[in-house]
Every structure is written in C-alpha cells, then in structure tokens.
Amino acid sequence: MRGAGTIFALSSGRPPAGVAVVRVSGAGARFALEALAGVVGAPRRMRLATLRDPATFEPLDRALTVFFPGPASATGEDIAEFHLHGGLAVVADVLAALGRLQGLRLAEPGDFTRRAFANGVMDLAAVEGLADLIGAATSGQRRQALAQASGALGAAVAGWRERLIGIAALVEASIDFSDEGDVPADLVATARTALAALDRDVAAALDGARRGERMRSGLVVVIAGPPNAGKSSLLNALARREVAIVSALPGTTRDAIEVHLDLDGLPVTVIDTAGLREGADPVEKEGIRRAHARMALADLVLWLEPADEPATPPPAGAAPVWRVGTKRDLAGGGPSDSDSKRDGVRHRVSTRSGAGLDALVADIAAAAAEMVGGEPPLVTRARQAQALDVALAALRDAGGRPDAAPELMAEDLRRAARALGEVVGMVDVEDVLDAIFRQFCVGK
C-alpha cells in the first residue's frame, strides 16, 4: 500500500465556506484529537471544543470534533474529524498544526478511499461507484452511482462466485469418482445445468453495461446539417444561453461546441458542428472533418433542414438520425408549402418564434430515457464489462465443450473465477488501482 502512517486532509470543498471538514485517518487519529482538542470524547459523538495549536496553545477555532474508532469506520482505521469554521486561515492553520504532529502527513488524492479498499471496507466496483457519486451531475447519474457505491455489483459477483465454486466442486468430485460408473457423468451433467444458468445471469448483467456507460458519460446528441441551417441557433436555444456564435455567414461554426444538459435527470451532451459543404477553406474543412467524427460517435444525430432551402440528405452513419426542419417561421405554414411536404421530418422548429422547441426537447428526453433510463444497471464501466466478458468467455469454454475432460472444464472454471474476482479487485489489479484512485480529490 502506498504510504502507511496517519494521513489528513481537508475533505470538504474549497474554503471559504460555512463549514470545513478536516479528516485524519490512521493510528495517530486519536493522538491528533488529543493534541488539538485536549480530549477525544465518546466514539461517534460530536463534541464542541476549542482547538489550540499544540506548540503555542494559541486558540485556532471553536469547532466540533468526532472520533470514529476502527475498524467500523469509513477507512477501516481510526478516524478523527474536525468540523471547522470554513475560513481560509482557520483551515490553513489547523492543517499546519496537524502537519507538525509526529507521524502525520498530508493525504494524496484518493488516499482515504484507497485505505477503505485495502482494509476491505469497499470493493473495487464500489470504489468506482463512489468516484461516480462524487462526479454525478444529474439525479439519474446519482441513482446509478449510489447503487454501485453501495456494492450492488460486488454483491452480485459474490453470489456468482459462490455458484461457480459449487459448480467447480461438482466437476472436481467427478474427477475423484472417475472409476465409479454413472456417478461422474451425473455430476458433470448437474454442473452443466448450473453453468448454463450462471451464464444467463452474467450475460444479462453485461447487457446493461452499455446503458451504464452512457449514463456515466452522458448521451451524445450531435446537431448537423448544411451551413446556415440554424445549428448554432438551435444549440443556443437548447442551452438557453449564447454558447455558439450565430451569423448569417455560412461557415460560421468550425469547432465542435458542447453543452451539457440535464433532461429529467438524464445527462445529455449536445454538440454543435460545422455545416457540411464542399469547397470550404482549410480551417472550415477541418471543422467539417470534426463534424463527421462527432456524428460517428453520436447516440443521436439531429439533421437540420431549413425551410427556405431544398433538403439535403444526411450522410449515412451508424447513429439514428432525426430530420428536423428549421426556420419554421419562414415556411408560411400552408399545406401546399414545399417544406411541409417533405417526408420523414420528425420535428419542425423555429428558434426565432420558439415553435416546436418544447416538443423536440421532450422527444430527446424520451429517447434518453429509452437509452439509459430504468433500473440502475449493475455494470457501469468498461473495466467491469471487460472483466465480466473474460469471465463469460471462460464459462462458455467450460460449458461448450461437451467432450472435454473434466480436468479441462475445471481449468476453465478457475479462469472464470479469477476474472470475476477482478471485477471487485479481489485478485491483483495493481495497475488499474492507481488509475482509479487518482480520480479522487485530496481528502477522499
């Protein structure tokens, strides 16, 4: 484990603030409380104290202190918390006083969570959920992250491993009884039935992985179309602020411009792109290349067709495309009008009058709910999905070779168990650990 000893950090947000929470974790937590507050107090009980600089006895703050003895604490170690007045100097002077204490050092990003993981308080999937919970920007993301941080995937994996061990035991027994007639064949048949059921459950969890990833990163909606179709105007209307430059000059937008929206708790990233056309200058050409790149990665493309121009077909691509008629205020509105004769146009909007915008937003929100909504999925990260993929492949190897010797089947089952262990960090995954813990801020 990186750096033993007692660590401390400001765990709440940047001062000045109403309250600032400084956390200390490790064998020296009790000593830190005694040194600054004089007494430790009853476990898990808030206590009002005058904090003093241990060297000069100068009062630093009137604060609430609390002591959580390990191992029933957030890190599994002794924890002391100081709930300070959140002034810059109060926080700085308390941190300085702690830093002068023997055996205490400032924590690095993610240190507290790393200790919780090392001490078995949280499994790796729960750690990832905690990172997502801190980063959650919409209530849908929060719901998913909270399930993950509470150990939903860890609990499922534990159940699968238990079943796997039961299956492996049957196969091992069939090897032991290999000279007793029908017994070994019966054991293997029972194992195969259980294996098929396990396969189904793991595969079902993996089915939700794409949904989980989308919820974490946000659904990507790309606005595309010919120059001057009203793309940037639509982006601004959706964002309700002037994010992108709008002008009558075709080729105004070059860079892809993103805004993050919260649609009924679901995260949606809307991207405005350069208008697609031939014969553009080199800078605009680069913008058009970027527009194509964004469309290729989109979950949904809004293809804009202005009412005052002949329609151009959207380029072929993998993402679903909605054709959206723009500048509806110019169309006149009569049934004989050329614009309303176009087939397959899903929405007609005007950013000038505001017409049709609410319906478009509601439709996008419904599509987002379709793609990421519902019960939080068990699998929310590519790393988890990859490990489960390996486990599933090994399960299929074990079950899919009817003529293979039980010894080979047992070997496949061991591989599956190992891959399941990786999901929750039970087996050595040191390289991914660093990457995961670095996402945390200092004090978490």
Q: Is 273 in the site for Mg ion (CB under 5 A)?
A: no
The 254-273 contact track toward ligand GTP, x by CB under 6 A, reads --------------------
Q: Flag whether 247 is marked binding.
A: yes
Q: Flag whether 253 is marked binding.
A: yes
Kindly state the smallest distance separating residue 370's Cβ from Mg ion, in Å. Answer: 28
Which residue is at the shortest CB distance from K ion? Answer: 252
Q: Is 252 in the site for K ion (CB under 5 A)?
A: yes
The 274-293 contact track toward ligand GTP, x by CB under 6 A, reads -x------------------
Which of 240, 248, 316, 335: binder of ligand GTP (CB under 6 A)? 248
Nearer to K ion, 247 or 338 (CB): 247
Nearest to 112 by CA among 79, 161, 148, 151: 79
Which of 250, 265, 317, 356: binder of ligand GTP (CB under 6 A)? 250
Angle (CA) 415-421-426 rounded to 5° is: 135
Nearest to 147 by CA among 121, 164, 129: 129
With CB under 6 A as the rule, give the number of residues binding ligand GTP. Answer: 22
CB 351 within 8 A of CB 272: no
Q: Is 247 in the site for ligand GTP (CB under 6 A)?
A: yes
Q: Which of the listed partners (K ion, Mg ion, ligand GTP, none) does 327 bind, with a CB threshold of 5 to 8 Å by partner kind?
A: ligand GTP
Which of 138, 351, 380, 384: binder of ligand GTP (CB under 6 A)? 351
Q: Is 75 in the site for ligand GTP (CB under 6 A)?
A: no
Residue type, 164: L
Q: What is the 3-state secondary structure (H, E, C) of the chain?
A: CCCCCEEEEECCCCCCCCEEEEEEECCCHHHHHHHHHCCCCCECCCEEEEEECCCCCCEEEEEEEEEECCCCCCCCCCEEEEEEECCHHHHHHHHHHHHCCCCEEECCCCHHHHHHHHCCCCCHHHHHHHHHHHHCCCHHHHHHHHHHHCCHHHHHHHHHHHHHHHHHHHHHHHHHCCCCCCHHHHHHHHHHHHHHHHHHHHHHHHHCHHHHHHHHHCEEEEEECCCCCCHHHHHHHHHCCCCCCCCCCCCCCCCCEEEEEEECCEEEEEEECCCCCCCCCHHHHHHHHHHHHHHHCCCEEEEEEECCCCCCCCCCCCCCEEEEEECHHHCCCCCCCCHHHCCCEEEECCCCCCCCHHHHHHHHHHHHHHHHCCCCCCCCCHHHHHHHHHHHHHHHHHHHCCCCCHHHHHHHHHHHHHHHHHHCCCCCCHHHHHHHHHCCCCCC
Binding segment toward K ion, per CB under 5 A, in 131-139, 198-206, 222-230, 415-423: 222-230
Q: Flag whether 251 is marked binding.
A: yes
Q: Which of residues 231-250 bind Mg ion (CB under 5 A)?
A: 231-232
Q: Is 253 in the site for Mg ion (CB under 5 A)?
A: yes
With CB under 5 A as the rule, give the number of residues binding K ion. Answer: 3
Rounded distance between C-alpha atoms, residue 28 and residue 8, angstroms: 10
Q: Which of residues 301-330 bind ligand GTP (CB under 6 A)?
A: 326-327, 329-330
Q: Is 6 in the site for Mg ion (CB under 5 A)?
A: no
Binding segment toward ligand GTP, per CB under 6 A, in 48-56, 128-136, 246-254, 332-340: 246-254
Q: Which of residues 308-367 bind K ion (CB under 5 A)?
A: none
Q: Flag whether 229 is marked binding.
A: yes
Q: Which of the listed partners (K ion, ligand GTP, Mg ion, none) does 326 bind, with a CB threshold of 5 to 8 Å by partner kind?
A: ligand GTP
Binding segment toward K ion, per CB under 5 A, in 14-22, 60-68, 242-250, 385-393: 242-250
Binding residues for ligand GTP, rule: CB under 6 A, are: 227-233, 246-248, 250-253, 275, 326-327, 329-330, 350-352
The binding site for (6S)-5-formyl-5,6,7,8-tetrahydrofolate consists of 23, 81, 121, 444
The binding site consists of 23, 81, 121, 228-233, 247-253, 272-275, 444
The binding site for Mg(2+) consists of 232, 253
Binding residues for K ion, rule: CB under 5 A, are: 228, 247, 252
Binding residues for Mg ion, rule: CB under 5 A, are: 231-232, 252-253
